[in-house]
Structure 1
């Protein structure tokens, strides 16, 4: 009897102890223009965008004046998709 109570208690903790919530939209509805706006708010500049399935997409920003290579951007995209969602596409801003 005691074992079943302990097991049920542990299972109940797992069910209620790991709640995660997100606020805001998971999509960039304004495309690159919205990403430029977002990066600017952080005093950064847009270097690319990433699309992760149909659920979410996002902006890739970098510190202004910082040197960054396409390889570095690719590594950031791969690390950010480690959740298993998979990369659908990456948009990279052309250098001016």
Structure 2
């Protein structure tokens, strides 16, 4: 069974219905945020970067990020308006 390695909560600034999570050194990215952002999907993935589309235009979103050492346990999606999953590989510093 997979174990939770780390959990972090951050406030993310949302501008024009979008925000992203990416490598801290964007020089390592082939496509830095917001290039190639797809507003037609809730969650978009690029190498070293995740794009998230929000229903609100400009606001601060509370974001929870979890790192697991394997596939996390299934969750009940009933309380969510939108749900998507993807993987993200980043360089350890």
Instruction: Please tell me the TM-score bracket, short chain as reference.
Output: under 0.3
Specify the structure having the higher radius of gyration (Cα).
1
Higher helix share: 1
Greater RCO between the two (CA within 8 Å, min separation 6)?
A: 2
TM-score, scaled relative to structure 2: 0.24
TM-score, normalised by the number of residues in structure 1:
0.23
